[in-house]
């Protein structure tokens, strides 16, 4: 009886979770720099973009206007690089054809 109850609870939990497509990551995910983090002048940048099939595009910049790069891709784009900025508060802005994310961070 206990085994049947555990299986029933598991099934109810799985059905209640909804479709697997409802449990996906955001289209744009900035991993580094971390929001409101303090960084040295040379700091790591890492982000992933996942858009539905077909041709997609992404552009990234610092402080909205300092364009750093861009790419066209199918389904998924991932990049990592080191960059140097002057001291103070900055933002990294990643804008893709399917979403965007902005992260504020501090450079020592």
Strands 88-96 and 42-62: antiparallel
Closest CA to 70 of 96, 42, 51, 50: 96
Diameter of the chain by CA atoms? 66
What pLDDT does residue 53 have? 84
pTM: 0.75
1-58 pLDDT, tens digit each: 555 454 444 444 444 444 434 445 789 999 999 999 999 999 999 999 999 888 999 9
What pLDDT does residue 81 have? 96
Token readout for 104 is 């504020």
Closest CA to 58 of 108, 105, 101: 101
CATH number of 26-107: 2.60.40.10
What pLDDT does residue 15 have? 44
What pLDDT does residue 43 have? 94
């Amino acid at each position: 009886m206990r085994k049947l109850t555990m299986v029933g609870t598991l099934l109810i939990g799985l059905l209640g979770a909804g479709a697997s497509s409802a449990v996906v990551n955001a289209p744009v995910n900035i991993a580094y720099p971390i929001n409101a983090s303090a960084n040295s002048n040379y700091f790591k940048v890492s982000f992933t973009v996942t858009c539905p099939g077909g041709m997609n595009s992404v552009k990234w910049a610092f402080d909205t206007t300092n364009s750093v790069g861009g790419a066209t891709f199918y389904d998924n784009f991932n990049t990592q690089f080191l960059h140097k900025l002057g001291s103070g508060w900055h933002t990294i802005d990643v804008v893709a054809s399917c979403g965007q994310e902005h992260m504020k961070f501090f450079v020592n």
